[in-house]
């Protein structure tokens, strides 16, 4: 999560409780003017509670793609 925050900056929104946290960043879609969301869910890797681990990533913009080409677009 430290590396994510270093690259994306401080989240625009989020929620945290009991060692789990959502970080949410918003952007505008240049074609539709809609607000897109990039959200990361993280929790501690194990019971030692020393290392945080990304568990889930949620993206609502079709402009984002994985290395394999997966996207939310058509």
7-53 tens-digit pLDDT = 889 999 999 888 889 999 998 666 767 788 889 999 988 777 778 88
CB atoms within 10 A of CB 42: 19
**Nearest Cα to 30, choosing from 4, 2, 68, 61?**
61
Enter the pTM of the model: 0.71
Terminal Cα-to-Cα distance of the chain (whole angstroms): 30
Domain boundaries, the chain: 2-59
**Nearest Cα to 58, choosing from 30, 23, 27?**
23
Residue 2 has pLDDT above 80, yes or no: no
* Tokens matching residue 67: 């290395």
């Amino acid at each position: 999560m430290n590396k994510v925050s270093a690259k994306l900056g401080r989240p625009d929104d989020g929620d945290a409780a009991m060692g789990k946290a959502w970080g949410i960043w918003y952007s505008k879609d240049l074609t539709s003017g809609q607000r897109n969301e990039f959200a990361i869910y993280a929790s501690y890797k194990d019971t030692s509670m020393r290392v945080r681990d990304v568990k889930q990533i949620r993206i609502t913009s079709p402009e984002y793609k994985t290395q394999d080409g997966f996207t939310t677009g058509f």
